[in-house]
Amino acid sequence: MWAQALGAVIRTYDPRDKNVADVIINEISSYQPSVLVVNFPNNPTGAELSQMELNRIVDSAQDYQVKVISDEVYRVFASTKESAATILGRINSSQT
């Protein structure tokens, strides 16, 4: 909401989409955003990304120098407790 109020263009994705990783990757390549916010596991849908899907998204973000913010506040409720922090550290540290 604040980003939009400050003039940022906001693109969204449906976390319930079976191909959400492909949708996000397409958005990255089409719009080349400055920042990507991923919210998985998602509340209220419970949607999750596999580690492979997250890797693909991060690889695409790295190709386009997109900063990634991962909102994992509901990680404790996920089927896997594996955090995205290690993967995101790879991309974000290479761009600072």
Domains and CATH numbers, the chain: 11-93 (3.40.640.10)
pLDDT above 70 for 91:
no
Residue 33: pLDDT band (50, 70, 90) is: very high
pTM of the predicted protein model: 0.80
- Phi, then psi, of 83 in degrees rounded to 5: -85, 155
pLDDT above 90 for 35:
yes
Q: What residue has token string 């849908």? A: 45
Please report the pLDDT score of residue 2 as a whole number.
83
- Give the whole-number percent of the chain exceeding pLDDT 90: 42
